Amino acid sequence: MSLPAPAPPVVARFERLKQRPVSLSVRGLTKHFESPRGTVTALNNVSFDVHKREFMSVIGPSGCGKSTLVRILAGLETASDGEIVVEGIPVSGPCPDRGMVFQGYTLFPWLTVKRNVMFGPMMAGRSAFTAESEAREWIELVGLTKFENAYPHQLSGGMKQRVAIARALANQPRVLFMDEPFGALDAQTRCNMQSYLLEIWKNVDITIVFITHDLDEAVFLSDRILVLDANPGRVREIVEVPVPRPRSFDQIADPAFLATRKHIEHLIHPPGAEAKESFPVLKFSAPDPDVV
């Protein structure tokens, strides 16, 4: 399937993107797990580059290794083979130059919003005064100044994730990894958070790698989308999103948006492909002939 030809300004944007320095380089990334049935390959020879200030989403079918990939990139797990380099420095473990935001709410419940955001800078050796001043700037950026003295249990789900983003950015990482950060939110809050994230990304010198299973979310947020195959996880295609920036939800009905979404859907679920797994059907009552 061919996508509509991007408008000239969009083509120019991609050309400018490719001229930027590479923030994240992944080469031959492979991950094996040992199981009772033998060795399982979760990721196989994954290679791609992410350019400075790019927003790249990673999407694919269940079991393609999206979360495993991002945990390895963040240094939280080790690869079986391959190389990961962030701005010239090989990844060998967790480091402040790589931030991470998870799907679950990972705030310290005994600390206020301000203290949660201050935690990273203080651990890096900044004084309490400096850490507090910086934390207030990040809290203002995510729109939670009025809640800086609130505790996590007093916040909504979306507000907690905004604090988590502020806490990750307070360490001033070069690359921010986000593992389905809005997956647990209701639809309206999720849309709001997507808009918040784009506004934050516009105002911060940061490269984002965003894991999601939501096609609309991937197209709405991204410059490019890395599509993975499953069993084992490997690069199927890297799709350039021809939807102009700045983005708005009105664009969801645009032909370029719909064509990109359809193309990715066909990559993940090819037309006519049979399901690889079958599930047993359990009957708890006699079938009703009026129910189709």
Tokens 């797994």 sit on residue: 277
pTM > 0.95: yes or no:
no
Write the DSSP string, 104-167: S----TTS-HHHHHHHHHHHTT--HHHHHHHHHHHHHHTT-GGGTT--GGGS-HHHHHHHHHHH
pLDDT confidence of residue 287:
66
Domains of the chain plus CATH, in order, are 1-97+175-181+204-270 (3.40.50.300), 98-172 (no CATH)
Q: Average pLDDT for residues 22-27, to the nearest whole number?
A: 96
Query: In percent, how much of the chain has pLDDT > 70?
Result: 89
* Mean of the per-residue pLDDT values of the chain: 89
Q: Average pLDDT for residues 116-120, to the nearest whole number?
A: 95
- Identify the band that residue 288 occupies on the pLDDT scale cut at 50, 70 and 90: low
Query: In percent, how much of the chain has pLDDT > 90?
Result: 73
pLDDT confidence of residue 58:
97
pLDDT confidence of residue 258:
96
pLDDT confidence of residue 19:
85
- Identify the band that residue 13 occupies on the pLDDT scale cut at 50, 70 and 90: confident
pLDDT confidence of residue 4:
63
- In the DSSP assignment, the letter for residue 183 is T
